[in-house]
Amino acid sequence: MKKDTLATRNHPDLKPADWENLIKEWQNCRLSQRKFCKLKNLSFHSFSYQRAKLILRCNRNITDNTKQFAEIKITKVEDQLAKPAEPFTVVLPNGIRILAPSNLSLRDLVHSLQLGGGDR
C-alpha cells in the first residue's frame, strides 16, 4: 500500500518530478511561497513539505558523492619546482567549488572562507 501523505492526499495527480518542476518554477519567480501556491492552487503546506523533501534528497546526494576516497600522488620537491604549481579545488558539502592557487596557505584559505561566509 502506498504511503499516504498530506501532499499526495491534497494533490494525488502530482508526481515527485512535477513537484520538482513547480519548485524550480517558484525559485525563478519573485513571489513568496504562499502567493505562488495560491496562484497555482496548491496547498502551501504540501508545497513546503515537498520542497523540504527535495532539499534533503539533494543534500543526501551531495553527501553521498563526497564520501569517496581520492588518490594522493606524492612527488619529490625537485619535480614540483620543475613545473608551475597547479591550483587546487576545495569542494564544500553544499556543492560549491573553490579554486585556489597552490601557494595559498591554509591560514589564508580559512581567512578567505570566513570573509566570504558572513551572515545571510
b (16+ CB within 10 A) / e for 82-116: eeeeeeeeeeeeeeeeeeeeeeeeeeeeeeeeeee
In a domain, 74, yes or no: no
Total domains, the chain? 2
Q: Do 62 and 88 fall within a single domain?
A: no
Q: What is the pLDDT along the chain (120 residues), one digit of tens a residue?
A: 344 444 445 778 888 899 999 999 999 998 999 999 999 999 999 999 999 988 888 777 665 555 566 666 766 665 555 555 678 787 777 777 778 787 777 788 777 777 665 444
pTM for this predicted structure? 0.46
What pLDDT does 82 receive?
52
Range of the domain at 90: 84-117
Q: Which residues contact 92 (CB under 8 A, 6 or more apart)?
A: 98
In a domain, 75, yes or no: no
C-alpha cell at 103: 601557494
Count CB-CB contacts under 10 A for residue 44: 14
Q: Do 61 and 91 fall within a single domain?
A: no
What pLDDT does 5 receive?
46
In a domain, 78, yes or no: no
> DSSP alpha helices (H): ranges in the chain?
6-10, 16-28, 33-40, 44-66, 77-82, 106-117
In a domain, 42, yes or no: yes
